[in-house]
Amino acid sequence: MSTTKQDDDSYIGDQTLVTKGGLQKLVDELDHLKKVRRQEVAQRLKEAISYGDLSENAEYEEAKNEQAFIEGRILELEGKIKNAEIISEQKASSITGKAVNIGSTVTVRNKTDRDEPEQYTIVGSTEADPIEHKISNESPIGKALLGSQKGDNLEIHTPAGMLRYEVLKVA
Q: What is the CATH number of the domain that holds 7?
A: 3.10.50.30
More confident residue, 11 or 112: 112
Q: How far apart are CA 76 and CA 36, in angstroms?
A: 17
Predicted pLDDT of residue 96: 45
The residue from 37, 68, 85 where one domain ends is 85
CB of 118 within 8 A of CB of 108?
yes
Residues 64 and 75 in one domain: yes
Of the candidate ranges 19-23, 69-73, 107-111, the one whose mean pLDDT is the lowest: 19-23
Residues 122 and 133 in one domain: yes
Q: What is the pLDDT of residues 52-68, one digit of tens each?
A: 777 778 888 999 999 99
Tell me the average pLDDT of the chain: 83
The residue from 60, 85, 110 where one domain ends is 85
Average pLDDT, integer, range 142-149: 91
Residues 118 and 99 in one domain: yes
The residue from 28, 50, 85 where one domain ends is 85
Q: Quick check: 4 pLDDT over 60?
A: no
Q: Quick check: 91 pLDDT over 70?
A: no
pTM of the model: 0.61
Average pLDDT, integer, range 136-150: 91
- One-character DSSP codes across 99-151: S--TT-EEEEEETTTTPPPEEEEEE-TTT-BGGGTEEETTSHHHHHHTT--TT
Average pLDDT, integer, range 144-148: 91
Q: What is the pLDDT of residues 21-51, one digit of tens each?
A: 888 989 999 999 999 999 999 999 998 888 8
Supply the range of the domain harboring residue 136.
2-13+87-170
